[in-house]
Amino acid sequence: KAGVTQTPRYLIKTRGQQVTLSCSPISGHRSVSWYQQTPGQGLQFLFEYFSETQRNKGNFPGRFSGRQFSNSRSEMNVSTLELGDSALYLCASSLAGATGEYYGYTFGSGTRLTVV
């Protein structure tokens, strides 16, 4: 079966611009999470969506936002880009249910964002 698909794979943006990243989860997975990976901070949780609702949010500024559609596909948006937003953005999907029980995550290969 198809894995988690993230588009685009690479992106270069200028400071001050905004960017939208897309994630298509594994079919049947209703939970989608986003993570940021940088050399300095490692892998950090951004937010998690389940059935179009954000259930959990990490410690990131309001410039980082996301949404989930009825088909479970998700997008994350970063506005007013800063140089420090350059990172690998990873999406993960899970069978996690309505009460948050854990079934393991499958990650995509990520979108490499470079802000210049």
Partner 1 sequence: DAKTTQPNSMESNEEEPVHLPCNHSTISGTDYIHWYRQLPSQGPEYVIHGLTSNVNNRMASLAIAEDRKSSTLILHRATLRDAAVYYCILVPVQGAQKLVFGQGTRLTINP
User: In the complex, which residues of this chain contact partner 1 (CB under 8 A)?
Assistant: 4, 31, 33, 35, 42-45, 48, 50, 55-56, 58, 90, 92, 96, 99-102, 104-110
Nearer to partner 1, 19 or 50 (CB): 50
Q: Round to whole Å and give the CA distance between 116 and 105.
A: 32
Closer residue to partner 1 in complex, CB, 7/80? 7
One-letter identity of residue 83: L
CB of 100 to partner 1, least distance (A): 4
- In this complex, which beta carbon is closest to partner 1, that of residue 22 or of residue 44? 44
Q: How many angstroms separate the CA atoms of 72 and 96, rounded?
A: 12
Compute the half-sphere exposure of residue 17: CA atoms within 13 Å on the CB side of its CA. Answer: 13
